[in-house]
Structure 1
Amino acid sequence: MLADADIHALDTDLGAVVLQNQQHHDNLQALLGKFRQLLDNYNNLKSDYEEEKEAREKYKRLARGQDRNPFVLVLVDGDGYLFKEYLVKAGSEGGITAARLLHDSIRELLHDRLGSQADQCRVMVRIYANVLGLSKSLARSGYVGHEARSLSPFVASFTRAQDLFDFVDAGDKKEGADYKIREMFRLFADNNQCKHIFFAGCHDSGYSSLLTPYRGRTDRITLLKGASFHSEYERLDLPVRELPSVFMSTPFSGNGHHTTTLPPSQPPTAAPSRQICKHYQKGICRYGNACIKVHIPQGQQLSKSDDPLPSGREAIISTRNQDYYASNLVRNISPTWQGSIPTNTAGDRIDTYCPIPSSEAWEAYTHRAKIHKPCNNYHLGGDCGNKNCDYDHTPIDSTSLDVMKHILRQHPCPTGPSCRSLKCYLGHICQKDGCRATKPCKFPRYAHILDLHIATWVTPLDRREFEKRDFGHFRSHSHSQSHSHSPSPVSESSGDAHSAGSIDSLIHEVGF
């Protein structure tokens, strides 16, 4: 038998065990409760993460979609911005020419504004006007016929000439064009695919309130100056440019009276007594009629450039369009003369015709370049020579190759018309439609007036001489920085030396 003391001790121990067991049970339940709460929190966080991940993926897809098909918008109030007289008089043909001139002029402004990104942007033009009212006004001046809507052939041809060009009849209501322009501007002003807006409505102060929220946004908006420019727009701190080769530069009253007596394609008959305003010809003169210098449109001034002209001639730079180049330049070198370079009677190198690529070709090339940029040297020069080249050497389709040729031909060869390299893919003459040899064109004036008739075929530099000359633009970017450059043996002029910096910047500028 257990003693009373032992029984009491066992009872005490049993109570302690029961208490400890209960405490352990409580602790276990608390731990399980916390673990359950932790699982609930984890599931909630996982759900939030999945939603955030899905939202981020949607944003990425949206961003990628906005990077596709970049374009610039040209908004024109056609009631205040009239095309040149000779374009309007030409009817259907004038509409096609006007579209080409406007497209090329905007392209030139784009290169100054967007750099290499400009080549990937398409140009969208929206012109809104009262076609009936314009037809009546132009008919009184003798520019079009007196039939109803006589301006329609010009309008239709302008719209048909370019895929993204529209000349829209806004009706005869007073605010018809204004309403359309305002809504189009609001629609694209903050659109990521729209990289820039050229606004041509500065004759009317009513648009100033539309543009005021974008004051100082030089990265988004450029103002185009027409025959008149309201002072309200000078306060917006936006760049102002002018297209004197496209739009009338003097007010049109509707009765045929203008402040100028010279047609746009002829030079002045006498030298002006005052100095000629160069800023006006560049489209950046901000003084308008108050300017103390003479305002003469592009193409009417004797060329006084430092660029030498053949035989000491001082000549008017007459514009040449795509039709001119198409009919005067050969498209391909005949198999008989493969391996030779065509030159004119003066010994100037003549390029083959390089037409403007279609929109489909641009899209094909842009798609290819986004995946892997093609190598200029390999695809255009014939070989690359850089085993570690970062650019694409895989076969390329003919349409994308034509786009590459067109882009590179827009950049002048540093050697100029005396270049004798068979592998040179840069331009030796300017083939821009309607170019007047003024900035921002990078070609010298001489490259705009060369005789395009092929007089003889010359043998190019052999490979040994070619390697001695060390042409930077036939070498990869990584090699061009490590070589010194010596003058060309063809010509002793300083212009024949190629600098690594200029060629490197060219390669980056065209995006290859």
Structure 2
Amino acid sequence: MAAPIDSVKQGDELQCLYVEGRAIQRALATLASNHGVYLKKYNDTSERIHANLVDAQKASIVTVAKTSIKNAFVLVLIDGTSHKFVDDLYRSKQSGGAATAKRLREVVSERVAAMLPAIARSEYSIVVKIFACLKTLSSRAVAEKLVAPGHRSLAFHFAEFNKVSPFFDFVDTGDEGHVPTKITENLRWHMAIEHCKHVFFCAAGSPKYHIALKPYHGQTKRVTIVTGSIADVEICTLGLHMISFARVFKVGPLNATSNTTAIKPASIEVTVPNPSAISVPATSLIHVNSASRNAGAPILSSILPMRARHGRVPINLAKQRLDLQMQLPTPAELQAYKDHTKIQELCIDFHLRGYYTTKECELSHGTLLSGVYCVLQYKALGTPCSEGSGCRSSNCVYAHICQKDECARAGGKAVLCGLTEAMHKVDPYVAEWVAANSSAMQSSASIQGNVLPVTTAPMNGGVPAAYMDDLISF
């Protein structure tokens, strides 16, 4: 039989537990309140200390920036032999030297404004150093009938040049062989100076230049190559921007080597649907995929980019689409193209883009040797893109800017060029790389007629056309 329940005792036990629980609750409430006060005090103190540190850092950064920008300068290093001033600057006997300095200053200022806006808005200086053998320059100018005969005919010209600015100096090396050493040492010394914000490197023709520039591979914010009468292909491989000061320096073709005489390209007959490209000089034929080709093949002298960026296309400050700088095809590639087209013309859309759009297409869609594609690219570049400068397609193989040497020499559209007048006036300097418009790449679903999917179209020895960005990007 169960023992009787003592309800009074149980009630007392429950009451004790209730009182104990209430005491604990009060203690917890007090602790929570105290902890809340502590947290607020801690947070307030932390925020105050952090704000003070940020203010101190900002003040330090502003001070350093002001000091750095206050004494900033842009250096222009010039080899007077490889970079010849345009003829009209030499012909002006009275003010030629001063006019040369002022025009150079204007051109550099324009480039700084476009490339280094923060520096352009500050008080910066332009430092110009020209190294050359005055006797050699004078004799060449006399031979070209630009100045009167004399061993130092250009002495007055460069004396006037030096007067324009305390930072403009022409240095007579006395011997042409001393020029590369002086330029490379000046480059090394100035690049180590914090206040030197940028270097426009106007020199070519010596292996020393490539060696000196190699440590700055890809440093486009520090160094820009300015093309002149001659240049070295090796310098073009350093990933630096290449521009021209066409108002100041004569611009010539890019030589394969600095110590060899440039070979004049022969005229090559290519049968194409576009009559404007029936007869073209070899200097106009261009190609991107140089990895598997002759490294010594000459490439077009240009300031356009040399490498593609996956999923992006280059544009200039005016938001106009640009193309990649191209490489000339080899004679073997040209012969391979001729062999393929003896029987039937090749379909550009099929071979370069991976599809053809009409059932009645009578062009060839057969397998090609990899070397043939460079000539097809040239044919595509003879046709302006229908979207013009607004094109953002990653799969576009047509032209957005003219790269032909004959048009550059003519100062505009040459007789046989099939591109528009507007494409001869596009600023070739890359301002930024923007995302490519993937929707611009046509899919098989949107094409009428017989369509070859892009994944099965061979490119350059079996690479699918879907990887076009990795090989050819316009």
Q: Which category of TM-score, normalised to the shorter sequence, fits these structures?
A: 0.3 to 0.5
TM-score by length of 1: 0.41
